[in-house]
Amino acid sequence: MGKVTGFMEIDRQVAKYQPASDRIRHFREFIIPMSDPEVTKQAARCMDCGIPYCHGPTGCPVHNQIPDWNDLVYNNRWEEAIRNLHSTNNFPEFTGRVCPAPCEEACTLNLEDAPVTIKTIEQAIADKAYELGFIAPQPATVKTGKKVAVIGSGPAGLAAAQQLARAGHEVHVYERESKAGGLLRYGIPDFKMEKNFIDRRVEQMTGEGVTFHYGANIGVDLPVEQLVADHDAVVYCGGSETPRPAGIPGGELHGVYDAMPYLVQQNRRIGRENIDSVAWAAEPILAGAKHVVVVGGGDTASDCVGTAFRQGAVKVTQLDIRPQPPEKEDKLAIWPFWATKMRTSSSQAEGAVREFQVATLEFVGEDGQLTGVRCCEVDERRQPIAGTEFIIKADLAFIAIGFSGPMKDGVLTELEGKLGVNVDRRGSSNVIANDRDYKTSLDKLWAAGDVRRGQSLVVWAIREGRQAAQAIDEALMGQSLLPR
Ligand SMILES: Cc1cc2nc3c(=O)[nH]c(=O)nc-3n(C[C@H](O)[C@H](O)[C@H](O)COP(=O)(O)OP(=O)(O)OC[C@H]3O[C@@H](n4cnc5c(N)ncnc54)[C@H](O)[C@@H]3O)c2cc1C
Ligand code: SF4
């Protein structure tokens, strides 16, 4: 513990943002990094409280050893801090940017509403480590002669690949897209995380012996059966990208889209990639000078809001069928768990109009073009309240109500139909494997990340990739020195 009285003397500070009026003029990250002295001061607030709920079961999913690295940062021991952080998390610069930080909810100082700024410190350690040249390839000194294939290069696939390569295996990552990163690259907008951070890790992993095969759609370009035959182990990290069907009448009108094609297009535009190849969208979708309605209340909906503002939308309204949550949670009933309370994302804070307890009844239009969204208020049981109908003017509407499981085409069709792999039959089609050994019902095939657990978080994908790698290493070698 750095400073025994730190938590009494120092107020919580979080990294500041550029003002909304400035940041909506560009797509770059807008968080103003904290100075080193401020980061070390904030690290001094950690009480090392004995039972570190922050990295316990309700806190950080990868069990980052938060009090330990807070102490190291307070004492300016940045190299040891990144070594400690890397011992649990392959990509802290990703989570330091996009993680919703359940660790901070579980921090003992959150009982007073002033948790340690864990996420900001995590990002600072990773960014500083790059700045000081502490992050370099760590190739295995002994090779095992075993060959492992990873399907998908999202955070789960990348974490699995890095761990397996460091254990000495020959690792091949097969990725359908032209670049690595999965939803980190093509879903999450640049203003939340710029993509050079992924490129740097790909470079590091290439230096560790990982081979990336891009434009390889497994199950279409190459059968999974072939991949399984050619490798000692295959880990399927294909994500969960099928949009949940909304079933809202009028969804066929021009101007109504699922959220993903919109976000993928914009990410490709910024990455100077071809946008014609984005599935489900035959034309550029742009919100400039338009009235935009976003249906849904999660991360994906928020990302549509921020993207629309940056493209010059006149007005963005976000519809949430859930009741407006309370401003504050009942700490003694909820802590150290994640609390349902009123949260405003940086995108919503850019000027979105938020409507709660509102159902979307129909998209309405003229001559095939969307002109508005017909809505009504609902009661606590989500039943329409008579006489409350209203129409919101809309030129563009995005549906962002979640994901129902992996894409059915290609790999999943082959796995389920031809190879008889067990998938969840309760509507999601997630591949069935437990979270101890991540093994599917098919010999030599493992599964990790969203494809197994359903659409989740980057930090959970990293955890699953790491743990699956450890399970595979153990299965191939009889024992494993990889951490879980
Ligand atoms: C818009 C949006 C915003 C989000 N924001 C956040 C956030 O702020 N914070 C957070 O923690 N989480 C966020 N998430 C969730 C997070 O991105 C995912 O949980 C995480 O990326 C899952 O990682 P994964 O590796 O399991 O899958 P993915 O990231 O989906 O990666 C799967 C990869 O597999 C590839 N693939 C699939 N099938 C094949 C095949 N047959 N052959 C070859 N390659 C294949 C895909 O192209 C993709 O690259 C967000 C999700 C979305 C959609
Ligand atoms: S990965 Fe997420 S939960 Fe873990 S320490 Fe970082 S911000 Fe907190």
Confidence (pLDDT) at 28: 98
Q: Whose CA is nearest to atom 2 of ligand 2?
A: 101
> What Å distances lie between residue 40 and 66, 86, 125, 132, 139, CA to CA?
14, 19, 10, 17, 32
Q: Tell me if the bond preceding 336 is cis, omega within 30° of 0.
A: yes
Mutation choice for ligand 2 from 122, 192, 460, CB with most ligand atoms inside 8 A:
122
Q: What is the DSSP string of 445-472?
A: EEE-THHHH-S--HHHHHHHHHHHHHHH
pLDDT score, position 280: 55
Dist. CA 180–CA 96, nearest whole Å:
19
pTM of the predicted structure, to 2 decimals: 0.97
How many residues belong to the chain?
484
Would you say 299 and 316 are in contact if contact means Cβ atoms under 8 Å apart? Answer: no
Q: Which two tokens stand for residue 82?
A: 């990144």
173 CA to centre of ligand 1 in angstroms: 15
Residue 188 CB–ligand 1 contact under 6 Å:
yes
Evaluate: CB of 202 within 6 angstroms of ligand 2: no
Ligand 2 atom 3 nearest Cα: 60
Whole-number Å distance, alpha carbon 450 to ligand 1 midpoint, is 7
Q: Whose Cα sits closest to atom 38 in ligand 1?
A: 238
Q: Whose CA is nearest to atom 53 of ligand 1?
A: 187
Testing ligand 2's pocket by substitution, the residue of 31, 55, 118 carrying the most ligand atoms inside 8 A of its CB is 118
For position 278, what pLDDT does the model report? 55
Q: What's the pLDDT score for residue 189?
A: 98
Instruction: State in Å: Cα 151 to ligand 1 middle.
Output: 12
Three-class DSSP category at 19: coil
**What dihedral do alpha carbons 146, 152, 155, 160 form, nearest 10°?**
-10
Q: Which residues contact 384 (CB under 8 A, 6 or more apart)?
A: 359, 361, 376, 377, 378
Q: How far is the CA of 352 from the centre of ligand 1 (A)?
A: 26
Looking at residue 188, what is its pLDDT?
Answer: 98
Instruction: Find the 311 Cα to ligand 1 centroid distance in Å.
Output: 24
Dig out the tokens for 84 from the structure.
């400690």
Query: 120 in ligand 2 pocket by Cβ < 6 Å?
Result: no
Beta bridge partners of 17: 31
121 touches ligand 1 (CB under 6 Å): no
| pLDDT given at position 279 | 57
Q: Give distance in angstroms: CA of 360 to centre of ligand 2.
A: 35
Q: Please tell me the number of the ligand nearest to residue 222's CA.
A: 1
> Is residue 396 classed as helix, strand or coil in its secondary structure?
strand
Q: Give 10-residue mean pLDDT values along the chain (484 residues).
A: 86 96 98 96 94 92 96 97 98 97 97 96 98 98 98 98 98 97 98 98 98 96 96 97 92 96 95 75 90 96 98 98 94 94 96 97 98 97 95 98 86 89 84 96 97 96 98 98 92
Rounded CA-CA distance 161/233 in Å is 12
DSSP line for 97-136: HH---HHHHHSGGGGGT----HHHHHHHHHHHHHHTT---
How close is the Cα of 101 to the center of ligand 2, in Å?
5
Which ligand ends up closest to the CA of 68? 2
Instruction: Say if residue 269 is exposed, middle or buried (CB neighbours under 10 Å; 0-12, 13-18, 19+).
Output: middle
Q: Quote the pLDDT of residue 277.
A: 60
Q: Pick from 69, 95, 460 the residue to mutate for probing ligand 2's pocket: most ligand atoms within 8 Å of its CB.
A: 95
Residues 6 or more apart whose CB falls under 8 angstroms from that of 80 comprise 72
Contact 450, 156 (CB under 8 A): yes
Beta-bridge partners for 258: 399
Nearest ligand 1 atom, CA 303: 1
Query: Minimum-distance ligand to the CA of 89?
Result: 2
